Structure 1
Amino acid sequence: MKQIAFVFLLLPLFVWSQTTFDKAKILFEQGEYASAETLFENYLKTNPTNTKTIEYLGDIAGHQREWDNAIYYYKKLRITFPKNANYWYKFGGALGMKAKSVNKFKALGMIDDIESAFLTAARLDSKHIETRWALVVLYVELPGIIGGSEVKATKYANELAAITEVDGYLAKGYIDVYFKRYQDAEKNYRKSYEIGHSKTTFNKLYDLYLNKLKDKQKAQKLKEEFDKKV
């Protein structure tokens, strides 16, 4: 009887905890990040090792551009689960966003850690799309003197192509646009659009026509074509 009574005493606490997490999750999905953060923090006090709560708090910090907090939470996950590619990716992403918000000298000191996090994620998961996109962008945007390389960027664009043709063509188009090879970019974006027929592939090609190639006729024709298929 005492054991049964003890269980019933704990039941309200369990129900409250579950309700708190569920409410926080709903608020997060609705974009109510500040309110969700408060509930997740309260839930974490009684469930300090709850992985999903820690990840949500990291995601909330990212949405609120609180990069130090995001790094803190993702680092905890990365240390606890060193073979989880997604945690390494999120950690590297938070570092990368912080690097963009600080002075150039401090940002330079963060590049090795950012690159290492993304490379680790790529090694751990051969099909992790977001990591390969991050590496494409990183190697394209970094100056060659500190590790930037079109060859490296293309390597990960090719890896993306092996996972999904659409992302492969989008990544190659992105590289072409960065280096102002707009005719090549058109070919790659056109292929991604023909395969994907998505809002993303349309936007990339439409933006190229309108803002890079300055071809309003092609842009309009593409828009009419896309609108018919939506």
Structure 2
Amino acid sequence: MKSILFFILFSTSIWSQTSFDKAKIFFDQGKYALAEPLFEKDLKENPTNSKTIEYLGDISGYEQKWNNAIYYYNKLKNTFPKNANYWFKFGGALGLKAKSINKFKAIGMIDDIENAFLTASKLDSKHIETRWALVIFYVELPVIFGGSETKSQKYANELVSISKVDGYLAKGYIDVYFKRYQDAEKNYKKAREIGLSKTTFNKLYDLYLNKLKDKQKAQKLKEEFDKKD
């Protein structure tokens, strides 16, 4: 009797799930192809559901469908202009599209990308992802189009005040970009000492192995990491 009752209750629970509920389960499992049509169905039924729109934007990003991602995130940041995360995602989608197209066409997107990230940074003074995006944006952007290490360092410094690990990783990233490997080592070691994470280990290990070409330091670091892991 109990098993029959459990089956009835379990079956009812499954069938009572909404399209959104089912889609979220698939999304969390990384099954985006299964989640997408369910989210689209939910959007037709609930056209103002911001979470559904965001999930569809995220799926489009994972699938590298940049135009779709831009469409969804643009819709969100226009509806919620004070939401820093929507501006950040919009700028990110624009930036990734710019990297995937003709360089001359990408140049025309620079101002929109920069504006999106700067808006996000002003809306949320502690938004870590946006500051990382600005660090990378200003380092990779040619000087003639507004690229600047000074600007990049500004946001790396802001990261230090928000999250020391992210801040030192960002400073190390800048140093590596400009091939200042000794300075990068100092910053990555600071991040490693504070964070003691796999990410901080990987950054320092890669620097030793592939940039400084110091196999001895790389091996020693790996042994230390393996002992603590």
| Cα drift, residue 147 of structure 1 | 0.4
1:88 aligned residue: 87
Q: Which aligned pairs between 1:1-230 and structure 2 lie closer than 5 A?
A: 18-230=17-229
Q: Which amino acid aligns with 1:156?
A: Y
1:3 aligned residue: none
| Cα drift, residue 16 of structure 1 | 6.7
Distance in structure 2 (CA, Å) of the matches to 1:109 and 1:18 = 45
Distance in structure 1 (CA, Å) of the matches to 2:58 and 2:16 = 20
| Cα drift, residue 224 of structure 1 | 0.4
Q: Which amino acid aligns with 2:73?
A: Y
Distance in structure 1 (CA, Å) of the matches to 2:31 and 2:16 = 19
Q: Runs of 5+ in structure 2 lacking a partner?
A: 1-13
| Cα drift, residue 123 of structure 1 | 0.2
| Cα drift, residue 20 of structure 1 | 1.3
Distance in structure 1 (CA, Å) of the matches to 2:180 and 2:109 = 30
Q: Could you report, residue by residue, the CA deviation over 1:141-191 in whole angstroms, capped at 9, with x for unpaired residues?
A: 001010000000000000000001101100000000000000000000000
The 1:17–1:72 alpha-carbon spacing in structure 2 relative to 1, beyond 3 Å, is: farther
SS at match of 2:126: coil
Q: Which amino acid aligns with 1:196?
A: G
The question of whether the paired residues in 2 share the 8 Å contact of 1:206 and 1:219 is answered with yes
Distance in structure 2 (CA, Å) of the matches to 1:146 and 1:75 = 24
Distance in structure 2 (CA, Å) of the matches to 1:16 and 1:51 = 24
Distance in structure 1 (CA, Å) of the matches to 2:183 and 2:17 = 53
Distance in structure 1 (CA, Å) of the matches to 2:68 and 2:62 = 11
The question of whether the paired residues in 2 share the 8 Å contact of 1:85 and 1:124 is answered with yes
Distance in structure 2 (CA, Å) of the matches to 1:43 and 1:136 = 37
SS at match of 1:71: helix
The 1:64–1:217 alpha-carbon spacing in structure 2 relative to 1, beyond 3 Å, is: same
2:9 aligned residue: none
Output the TM-score relative to the length of structure 2. 0.93
The 1:66–1:17 alpha-carbon spacing in structure 2 relative to 1, beyond 3 Å, is: farther
| Cα drift, residue 17 of structure 1 | 8.0
Distance in structure 2 (CA, Å) of the matches to 1:18 and 1:168 = 43
| Cα drift, residue 113 of structure 1 | 0.2
Q: Which amino acid aligns with 1:58?
A: G
The 1:190–1:68 alpha-carbon spacing in structure 2 relative to 1, beyond 3 Å, is: same
SS at match of 2:18: helix
Output the TM-score relative to the length of structure 1. 0.92
Which portions of structure 1, spanning 4 or more consecutive aligned residues, are displaced by more than 3 angstroms?
A: 15-18
Distance in structure 2 (CA, Å) of the matches to 1:139 and 1:42 = 39
| Cα drift, residue 19 of structure 1 | 2.3
Q: Which amino acid aligns with 1:188?
A: N
Q: Runs of 5+ in structure 1 lacking a partner?
A: 1-14
